[in-house]
Structure 1
Amino acid sequence: MSALEHTTLVDRIRQLEREAQPLEPGTAERELLRHAVMESSERFLRNIETLKAFDDSEDKGIGLLQAPISERGIPLEAALELLEREVVRPGGNPASGGHLAYIPGGGLYHSALGDYLAAISNKYAGLFFTGPGAVRMENMLLRWVADLVGYPATAGGNIASGGSIANLAAIATARDAHGLKGRDFASAVVYLTTQAHHCIEKALRLAGLEEVQVRYIPIDERFRMRPDALEQTIAADRGQGLKPWLIIAAAGTTDTGAVDPLDAIATIAERERCWFHVDAAYGGFFLLTGHGRRVLKGIERSDSVALDPHKSLFLPYGSGIVVVRDARWLAATHRYSGHYMQDALREPGEISPADVSPELTKHFRALRMWLPLILLGTEPFRAALDEKLLLARYFHQEIQALGFEAGPPPDLSVVTYRWAPPGVSLERANQLNQAIVDGVRRDGRVFLSSTLLDGRFTLRMVALSFRTHQRTIDLALRILREQVAAIGA
């Protein structure tokens, strides 16, 4: 390279450095950015009690597309106004206590601060070598969860993005732990119920197990797996030369909140030498309560479990945990490496998340969970969960007083119910309940959802947000009474 070429190269590098300078705001500019963003968050939180739980807007955020990404940016105030109007406002508001639909996420403020600090430090949390503190934090939290479940010291796990990935990791591990190969898939049998979350079947397909035999075990009147039917089905499969392999039970189904009889199922799994996985994405952290420990008895006998902190631990969306009784099986399925990682020497006794999950790139998710727990302790979480259990019982009682037909008493905090006046046909009752849930959504003060149970259009109420209190439930009951009057029923 000639001296002229070298000078030209250096000049160009310096020019590009100046042009890229906006990526590194100074102290004063950071203060302005932070103040504007915090003001936006405060506007949201100051009005959280009056914001709609569902905003059934006509435009559905289409205005966002009127400001496409371009060479030149727009002022922060304009960007925040666009965000608040076109993204935060329309649709569901899971941060609202009135979000009683599906299984809502939480949105703890302490977790938001944890995410902020995680993003600022940008600590890579995938390998112990590069992020020893971040990895120790995740493993400490996983040990706390394993102890909560009742697993031995051999247990290990991973904090993933949610229950779907957590269940996928568990199913892939179960596949390898039982030595299943392609030639075995057609004769291997999985046992679950029709109440299992759809991510289970998706996980089977993603794990290459689409050809396995899937048995849907009959459920009882409370939508829980029947152990006697499970035993009979396994015996019949063995008689046909098939290989019973995996039993998947639910600790809180999405539809009805039902908890399968885990202890009885664990006994069958042990006798039949099946891998026993519990999907506790919704109900797992109710183990913090006395009621939860009684209802979930037997979960400690499972081989693997999935729990979502962004559900019953109130964290923001994007946190799912898988824990396996023997971490060696989890590592055997997920541990891979490359030559470029040769410097990342593994520390004896400390598991790196990249070795026990599908992810190599790893967000520092542990911080959003650690910060609220270390600051607040577990006591307020237990109190909030106990409150939700009682709110579900309260709603179950009061909805019947309004003339609704209620489903079974809640195992956890989901209540099913429907408007079915005497003499009304099933088809007409389904239409009436559709009209009720549509009316509630248009009203927007609370957000309720529906499902289909045995052909019956059924309404659901989920008390899980830490902002949901008795006044919220009373408001929901009042709105339902209004909707019944509105449809002339």
Structure 2
Amino acid sequence: MSDPARRPPRFDALADLPDVPADTLGLEAEEMRRLGYRVVDMVVDRAMRRGQEPAILTGAPEDLRAALGGPLPEAPIDPEASLDLMAEVALAHQQHGDHPRYFARVPGPAAFAAILGEWMGTGFNTICASWGGASGPAMVELVVIDWLAEMLGMPAETEGVLLSGGSMGNLTGFAAARAALGPGVAYLTDQTHASLPRNLRTLGFAQEEIAKLPAEADWRMSADTLRAAIARDRAAGRRPMMVVATAGSTNTGAVDPLPEIAEICAAEGLWLHVDGAYGAPAAITPEGRAALAGMERADSLALDPHKWLFQPYDLGVCLVTRPGALEAAFAISPEYLRDVRQAGDAVNFGNRSLELSRRSRALKLWMSLRTYGADRFRAAVRRGMELAELAERVLRERPGTWEVVTPAQLGIVCFALRGADAGKHEAAARAVSESGYACVTTTSLGGRSVLRLCTINPLTTEDDIRGTLERLAAV
């Protein structure tokens, strides 16, 4: 593209119009610059010391309200003082998912180039609903979807939409499945993320249409159990419709047997949806691609780049390998949107999900992929898997203290203190988290309490892991 084509057009017919103030509500341009530069400095300064701040800090409601509330401001308050208050109180009291010792749930270790993309989208007040109203941002989203599909090994015809996170990504896939195939039974396991049955209920699935199957001893869906459940439902006059498989469970990192499940779905005429909210990005590495073999056969796939693709909150994705399925489920054409319909093969992203007014979430991923390159993403994801394997080795060095309950899988390892019950595990995790050194949580597997580390931050070191385990054992 030539340089002139890169620049926004200027219209001579508008040259004599008066200048427009820089800020809608009255800040002067120089004040805007000064405050903006200060925000950048505060963000970078915080990034440089994030290993020294608490991994999680929770405040008391009355204290936070006293510091952040008060009477409605009728007159201006110094914005610098408000920025300081925001940084020192509001933003300090939260989980810091990019902290190198934040091991709870699934971390969110965002990269700075992605933050730049997010700032640009917010600063330009960007919307991405229709082609007519947002052709540039829409093309960025189309490009990002293509890049994601290529990195994950999904089919060339894959389409998608960017959303707030895994809950909306999964719901969007479910809605596309139901619009394509009609009502019926959805099959999942007791290790499926808790938000997925809620999504199904929200879409109108009756309780008997949500078949929760027991996972196997390795916490994966059993292909034999699935086949038996489908046959049983057909015999009872119910209509099997969709299988919800997991590519990296939140509890253990387990991956359902995707090739076998895909074969069952193909033979039975069912929609295969894969919840890869945290685990799917592992497929950008050769090791992860092997562990997630069969994911490319999904009819729909949900994943969260704000987890293992190092994007700031929020960013989820629903990818669908049946062209047109998203539009068939969500497209609307009211009279007040007639003049923003797409031209030719262009896309109105407001027709691919429940969101009509939607910001451009693609800019941050586009910016970070261009800034770092896909290979650096692969190395960072691989590092997360290696860290979990390292944690497992450290645990096995002290068999009298620790028991490995589930081995390292896609950046997660579950373990237990010898002889400890749920109360002791919870006390240990709480003490370490309240100390600020690290954030660790417990979970339950088959009624048994375990501790769990999710190690997908590439900034985590061996000392971070050893120090966390030493503190847990000491408690």
What's the TM-score, normalizing by structure 1?
A: 0.88
Q: Distance in 1 between matches of 2:38 and 2:136?
A: 32
Say yes or no: does 1:452 pair with 2:450.
no
The amino acid across from 2:84 in the alignment is: E
Q: Distance in 1 between matches of 2:54 and 2:244?
A: 37
Look up the match of 2:319. Answer: 323
The answer on whether the counterparts of 1:224 and 1:259 sit within 8 Å (CA) in structure 2 is: yes
Say yes or no: does 1:33 pair with 2:38.
no
Q: Distance in 1 between matches of 2:88 and 2:241?
A: 50
Number of matched pairs: 453
Secondary structure at 1:350 match in 2: coil
| Equivalent in 236, 261, 264 of residue 240 of structure 1 | 236
| Equivalent in 24, 42, 45 of residue 44 of structure 2 | 42
The answer on whether the counterparts of 1:314 and 1:466 sit within 8 Å (CA) in structure 2 is: no
Q: Give the deviation of 1:105 after TM superposition.
A: 1.4
The answer on whether the counterparts of 2:402 and 2:417 sit within 8 Å (CA) in structure 1 is: yes
Report the CA distance shift for 1:331/1:304 in structure 2 as closer, same or farther (over 3 A): same
| Equivalent in 388, 391, 416 of residue 387 of structure 2 | 391
Q: Give the deviation of 1:477 after TM superposition.
A: 2.1
Q: Distance in 2 between matches of 1:439 and 1:141?
A: 42
Say yes or no: does 1:98 pair with 2:128.
no
* TM alignment of 1:121-132, pairs within 5 A: 121-132=124-135
Report the CA distance shift for 1:248/1:258 in structure 2 as closer, same or farther (over 3 A): same
The amino acid across from 2:348 in the alignment is: S
The answer on whether the counterparts of 2:130 and 2:341 sit within 8 Å (CA) in structure 1 is: no
- Flag structure 2 segments of 5+ consecutive residues without an equivalent: 1-19
The amino acid across from 1:47 in the alignment is: R
Say yes or no: does 1:475 pair with 2:467.
yes
The answer on whether the counterparts of 2:173 and 2:318 sit within 8 Å (CA) in structure 1 is: yes
| Equivalent in 206, 211, 233 of residue 215 of structure 1 | 211
The answer on whether the counterparts of 1:258 and 1:410 sit within 8 Å (CA) in structure 2 is: no
Task: Write the deviation string for residues 350-371 of structure 1: whole angstroms up to 9, x where unpaired.
Answer: 2221111111101011101100
The answer on whether the counterparts of 1:105 and 1:316 sit within 8 Å (CA) in structure 2 is: yes
C-alpha RMSD of matched pairs (Å) = 1.9
Task: Write the deviation string for residues 187-239 of structure 1: whole angstroms up to 9, x where unpaired.
Answer: x2211111111111111122122444222222222211111111111112222
* TM alignment of 1:81-480, pairs within 5 A: 81-180=84-183, 188-402=184-398, 403-421=401-419, 429-480=421-472
Task: Write the deviation string for residues 14-48 of structure 1: whole angstroms up to 9, x where unpaired.
Answer: xxx99x97724333212221232223223312311
Q: Give the deviation of 1:56 after TM superposition.
A: 4.5
Secondary structure at 1:100 match in 2: coil
Look up the match of 1:14. Answer: none
Report the CA distance shift for 1:465/1:68 in structure 2 as closer, same or farther (over 3 A): farther
The amino acid across from 2:356 in the alignment is: L
Deviates more, 1:223-232 or 1:395-404: 395-404
Look up the match of 1:75. Answer: 78
Q: Distance in 2 between matches of 1:63 and 1:463?
A: 36
The amino acid across from 1:258 in the alignment is: A
Task: Write the deviation string for residues 399-440 of structure 1: whole angstroms up to 9, x where unpaired.
Answer: 23232111222221111111132xxxxxx6222112111111
Q: Distance in 2 between matches of 1:227 and 1:417?
A: 27
Q: Give the deviation of 1:337 after TM superposition.
A: 2.0
The amino acid across from 1:159 in the alignment is: L
Report the CA distance shift for 1:255/1:22 in structure 2 as closer, same or farther (over 3 A): same
The answer on whether the counterparts of 1:452 and 1:458 sit within 8 Å (CA) in structure 2 is: yes
Deviates more, 1:384-393 or 1:142-151: 142-151
Q: Distance in 1 between matches of 2:42 and 2:206?
A: 46
Q: Give the deviation of 1:157 after TM superposition.
A: 0.9
Q: Give the deviation of 1:100 after TM superposition.
A: 0.6
Q: Distance in 1 between matches of 2:273 and 2:340?
A: 32
> Among the aligned pairs, what percent are the same residue?
31
Q: Distance in 2 between matches of 1:80 and 1:102?
A: 29
Secondary structure at 2:133 match in 1: coil
Q: Give the deviation of 1:138 after TM superposition.
A: 0.3
Q: Distance in 1 between matches of 2:58 and 2:128?
A: 39
The answer on whether the counterparts of 2:311 and 2:365 sit within 8 Å (CA) in structure 1 is: yes
The amino acid across from 1:361 in the alignment is: S
4+ residue segments displaced more than 6 Å = none
Highest Rg: 1 or 2? 1
Task: Write the deviation string for residues 434-489 of structure 1: whole angstroms up to 9, x where unpaired.
Answer: 21111111211110111111221211100112332323212212222322xxxxxx
Task: Write the deviation string for residues 95-114 of structure 1: whole angstroms up to 9, x where unpaired.
Answer: 21111100111221111111
Q: Distance in 2 between matches of 1:24 and 1:365?
A: 28
The answer on whether the counterparts of 2:403 and 2:416 sit within 8 Å (CA) in structure 1 is: yes
